[in-house]
Amino acid sequence: MRIRIEGGTVVTAADATRADVLVEGETVTLVGRDLSRIAGPVDRTIDARGKYVLPGGIDVHTHLDMPFGGTTSADDFETGTIAAACGGTTTVVDFAIQPQGGTLSEGLAQWHQKAEGKAAVDYGFHMIVRQVTAGTLAEMDRLVKHEGVTSFKLFTAYPGVFMVDDASIFKALQKTGENGGLICAHAENGGVIDVLVAQALAQGHVEPRWHGLTRPARLEAEATNRVIALAEVAHVPVYIVHLSATEALAEVREARDRGVAAFAETCPQYLFLSHENYEEPGFEGAKYVMSPPLRPKGNERGLWQGLRQDDLQLVSTDHCPFCMREQKELGKNDFSKIPNGAPGIETRLLLLWDAVRRKELELNRFVQITATAPAKLFGLYPRKGTIAPGSDADLVVWDPGKSLTLSVKSLHMNVDYNPFEGKQLQGAPETVLSRGEVVYEKGRFSGRKGRGKFLQRSARQFD
């Protein structure tokens, strides 16, 4: 199949040029002017005049079909990746989990099983490490060298579930110094948070807003500082996931200014929502229970600034949806039992485009933080994350004039609410290609479940 995308403005992290894009099979083969005259006949043309042609989005933080908080996230690899495609995201990197008392390989096999035959776009895996032993350290080598799983998440939060001690984090960091992997850290001080949670509950504070009040920004900053210090001593890069507080961002910025290879992502919820959402009436605040929590209004200004000046390298979603009915409701009488997480896999590009439209974010920076930086940091570049001859034809024809209102009724995620319900936006995908196949057009998913391929990622390409 040969497809020519004609007359759009082709945007990469570096350029924005009027050009045609020739797709042959699964790959981009030519980018240039007037390809109809020089590159022969095609099976299909896509008119992109007045539109942008962007690299498909890469979301490096999703939790599909994830058992957590006494239930399982509401999107599996089928519904989640279909929603991703409809929102212009053509690659996801999901978190496989080491089973309690089990091996990394067992966790990886489980995640392959969850995704195979279901994923509608390409996917990779990080591995959540719950126990750092000689065995798991050896397995980390194997995953990096032979399985294409080159990043590992360790937690300083969720005692008894995911939290590991500093020595474990340090050993895992040192291991990545040998094998070229990357440690991703969930940085909040879980032990102290548990004390604050117990004290709040003992005083009868059961409402969702106490989730935010018991996870202070200072404890995110402290853990961020600690993880970076461990990486500095181990002489390896480190990546902070779902950074929410500007106090934590200051730790990343100071480390980077000292020359430490510290990287961090934030998520749309921290850019567009705030602690005030926890104050919504009744149990509505449960919609926003996630960790780290939403921060007070004004905090987002520092995050936007961080994104503009590269203290934050990218925006992922931390997509971890739970329905209000039967899932979030588990914490109706105790905020600490509300499953942590929110949906976002479909709305990341739509929301961030709003900042481009408002001229708060440059067009090239939009591509950088949604596609190119994720690809580079997580071993997918240049196959993914750019538009160039030889790259996968993961492409989004973006209509900057399209108006839409975010609503659970029209979005594809398998969850009964949307945290951004009613938000009016302008700019949306018109056509989405994943490895040369049109998977979204005319407002509908047009791909197939199971067509997504597992991506073997490379070890570190940066330091």
Nearest alpha carbon to residue 31 among 7, 50, 58: 7
> Is residue 74 within the footprint of ligand URP (CB under 6 A)?
no
Q: Which of residues 241-260 bind ligand URP (CB under 6 A)?
A: 242
Kindly tell me which of 79 and 434 has the beta carbon lying closer to Zn ion.
79
Shortest Cβ 262–Zn ion spacing (Å) = 17
Per-residue contact flags (x/-) with ligand URP for residues 337 to 356, judged by CB under 6 A = ---xx---------------
Whether the Cβ atoms of residue 153 and residue 186 lie closer than 8 Å to each other? yes
Could you tell me if 193 and 218 are in contact, meaning their C-beta atoms sit under 8 angstroms apart?
no
Pick one of Zn ion, ligand URP, none as the site partner of residue 380 (Cβ within 5 to 8 A by kind). none
Distances (CA, A) of 262 to 25, 118, 370, 373: 38, 34, 19, 14
Residue indicated by tokens 């402290």: 222
Q: What tokens were used for 29?
A: 């083969």
| Residue 318 binds Zn ion (CB under 5 A) | yes
Mark residues 132-171: x for contact with ligand URP by CB under 6 A, - for none.
Answer: ----------------------------------------
In the list ligand URP, Zn ion, none, the entry touching 354 (Cβ below 5 to 8 angstroms by class) is: none
Question: In angstroms, what is the C-alpha Rg of the chain?
Answer: 21
Strand-pair category, 122-128 with 314-315: unpaired
Residue with tokens 């995620």: 413
Please identify, using beta-carbon distances, which residue of 306 and 341 lies nearer to ligand URP.
341
The reply on whether position 291 binds ligand URP by CB under 6 A is yes
| DSSP string of 252-300, one letter each residue | HHHHHHTT--EEEEE-HHHHH--GGGGGSTTTGGGGG--SSPP--TTHH
By CB under 5 A, residue 412 contacts Zn ion: no
How many other C-beta atoms lie within 10 A of the C-beta of residue 310? Answer: 15
Residue 101 falls in which region: left (phi positive, over 0), alpha (psi -120 to 50) or beta: left
Name the closest residue to ligand URP (Cβ).
340
CA dihedral (326, 327, 329, 332) positive or negative: positive
Bridge partners, residue 395, by sequence:
55, 433
- Output the smallest distance, CB 328 to Zn ion, in A: 17
Selection from ligand URP, Zn ion, none that 341 binds (CB < 5 to 8 A by kind) is: ligand URP
Distance CA 56, CA 252 (A): 28
Exactly one of 320, 415, 432, 433 binds ligand URP (CB under 6 A); that residue is 320
- Which CB atom, from 318 or from 437, has the smaller least distance to ligand URP? 318
Residue 186 interacts with ligand URP (CB under 6 A): yes or no: yes
Contacts (Cβ under 8 Å, ≥6 apart) of 320: 62, 63, 66, 68, 73, 290, 340, 341, 342, 343
**Contact at 8 Å (CB) between 445 and 85?**
yes
Nearest distance from C-beta of residue 231 to ligand URP, angstroms = 19
**First-to-last C-alpha distance (Å) of the chain:** 39
**By the rule CB under 5 A, 319 interacts with Zn ion:** no
| Sites for Zn ion among residues 175-234 (CB under 5 A) | 186
Report the residue from 154, 262, 290, 356 that binds ligand URP according to the rule CB under 6 A.
290
Shortest Å, Cβ 57 to ligand URP: 19
Rounded to a whole number of angstroms, the minimum distance from the CB of residue 372 to ligand URP is: 23
State which residue, 118 or 186, has the beta carbon closest to Zn ion.
186
Binding mask 357-396 for Zn ion (x = CB under 5 A): ----------------------------------------
CB of 91 to Zn ion, least distance (A): 17
| CB nearer to ligand URP: pick between 8 and 208 | 208
Q: Please identify, among the stretches 22-30, 276-284, 316-324, 444-452, the one whose residues bind Zn ion according to the rule CB under 5 A.
A: 316-324
CB 68, min distance to ligand URP, A: 6
Residue 378 CA, chain-centre distance (Å), reads: 11
Instruction: Determine, following the binding rule CB under 5 A, whether residue 51 of this chain makes contact with Zn ion.
Output: no
Within 311-394, strands assigned E span 314-315
Contacts of 377 (CB under 8 A, 6+ apart): 60, 182, 239, 263, 313, 314, 462
For ligand URP, which is the closer residue by CB, 89 or 291? 291
Please choose which of ligand URP, Zn ion, none residue 275 contacts, taking the beta carbon within 5 to 8 angstroms, the exact cut-off set by kind: none
Residues near ligand URP, by CB under 6 A: 63, 186, 242, 290-291, 318, 320, 340-341
Residues near Zn ion, by CB under 5 A: 186, 318
